[in-house]
Amino acid sequence: MNTAHDDVPPRLQAPSPAAQPAAAGPALAPIPSPIPVAAIGASGRMGRTVVQAVEAADDMRLVAAVDVGWTASDLTGPGARVAVDFTVPTAAESNVHALIDLGIHAVVGTTGWDSEALARVRDHVKERAGIGVLVAPNFALGAVLAMRFAALAAPYFDSAEVIELHHPAKVDAPSGTAQHTAQGIAAARAAAGLGPVPDATSSGMPGARGAVVDGIHIHSVRSRGLTAHEEIVFGNPGEQLTIRHDSFDRTSFMPGVLLAVRKVPTHPGLTVGLASYLGD
């Protein structure tokens, strides 16, 4: 349910070649206080909200707010140590590789990642000891907990489907949050030895049953008046469980973003999902 994460203007593209030096670099210095933070995609709706949140945080200092065409000196000049990326799927991976090369920790809310792109980042970040990269499908703490609750419930129900609802400016479907939720449900069902969810559908219009991720159906709704919402529906004979999370404003993502900025320097390598940062 991270549409709010990827609604920046499509003009935001990958950084210029000057932002991509060789991967080798000196050992990382300790993170100063307040944390020097850069916002990439700062003119987008999520980017503007990130800028405001960082500026309001007592333990952070916004040192750069950049968009298309940023270069290494835009971030290294003012001493950025953590960068928050809310851009577009076509730019996010290039941005992350550039940040790794610069020795800057990355917190990424842009959606549209596939397993191949994540694998490339995972391999790259191993070359730069100490650098942390977090790619999170959702930064709303309630949404993160909803995904965890769904994985906990999954082994106990015959049926499970996901419905994600977002504003019509969202560029990807299904949402990254819905995909992450479905993957968690599928993994929990597999670990419990459950087979496929029951579904006798043998004919119908294309797309009528939605997208399928690891055997779990996802249905996407796009409508004016929505921000970011998700329902996870579980069913057994005679009962139904619905887990729902609603984000009514982009500010709902900011506590999670700020938590990620604080935590990412102590989590080297690639982390997918904010849940790994909770409770440590």
Indicate which residues carry an active-site annotation.
166, 170
Element (H, E) at 37: strand 35-40
Task: Give the max Cα distance, the chain.
Answer: 62
* Edge-first strand listing for the sheet containing 105-108: 60-66, 35-40, 82-85, 105-108, 132-135, 269-272
Closest CA to 159 of 220, 245, 246, 232: 232
Q: Is 8 exposed, middle or buried (0-12, 13-18, 19+ CB in 10 A)?
A: buried
Radius of gyration of the chain (CA): 19
Secondary structure class of 175 (helix, strand, coil): coil
With residues binned 3-state (H G I as helix, E B as strand, rest as coil), the percentages for the chain, rounded to 5, are: 35, 25, 40
135 vs 170: CA distance, rounded Å? 18
Determine which helix (DSSP H) or strand (DSSP E) holds 64, and give its type and residue range: strand 60-66
Q: Is 171 exposed, middle or buried (0-12, 13-18, 19+ CB in 10 A)?
A: middle
